[in-house]
């Protein structure tokens, strides 16, 4: 495994912990903000440290299904992050106002469902990124 994959897996474990202990609001919010910043910064790091021109253009990987599936998952993850942040802000606004309990519970359920979607999408992004980063290793694992 390469360094970015290990970092992504470790942050995924941290994200699972924050999802599990969502009632510890400071922990939950700070971890999720860190994870979003990490995921936004990761493409910039990878572009600056890897030779993508050779791999994507010269080797023809730009036309592979795996690359486009990974890219689509990343876009999905970012869209889910935007929706999740909007819902979190709605939770904060609703909890500060004297709103009915049912409306607040509905927003919490929506936030939780989006969180599960983010966990699934991020897990798939890490898996597809790992396969694309080390295609030879992925084939060995699949053949074992």
* Domain map (residue ranges) of the chain: 3-143
Longest dimension (CA), the chain: 60
The alpha carbon of residue 25 and the mean position of all alpha carbons in its chain are separated, in whole angstroms, by 20
Q: Hey, which of 1-15, 40-54, 71-85 has the most confident mean pLDDT?
A: 71-85
pTM (two decimals)? 0.84
User: Residue 142 to residues 3, 69, 137: CA-CA distances in angstroms?
Assistant: 22, 19, 9
- What average pLDDT does the segment 68-81 reach? 95
Residue 28 pLDDT: 95
Residue 49 pLDDT: 85
pLDDT tens figures, 40-68: 999 999 888 877 777 777 777 777 788 88
């Amino acid at each position: 495994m390469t360094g970015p994959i290990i970092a992504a897996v470790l942050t995924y474990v941290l994200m699972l912990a924050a999802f599990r202990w969502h009632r510890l609001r400071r922990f939950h919010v700070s971890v999720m903000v860190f994870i979003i910043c990490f995921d936004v910064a990761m493409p910039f790091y990878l572009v600056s440290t890897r030779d993508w021109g050779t791999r994507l253009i010269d080797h023809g990987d730009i036309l592979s299904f795996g690359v486009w599936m990974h890219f689509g998952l990343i876009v999905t993850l970012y869209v889910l992050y935007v929706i999740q942040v909007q819902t979190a802000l709605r939770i904060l606004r609703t909890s500060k106002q004297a709103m009915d309990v049912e409306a607040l519970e509905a927003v919490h359920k929506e936030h939780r469902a989006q969180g599960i979607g983010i966990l699934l999408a991020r897990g798939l992004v890490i898996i597809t990124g790992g396969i694309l980063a080390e295609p030879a290793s992925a084939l060995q694992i699949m053949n074992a």
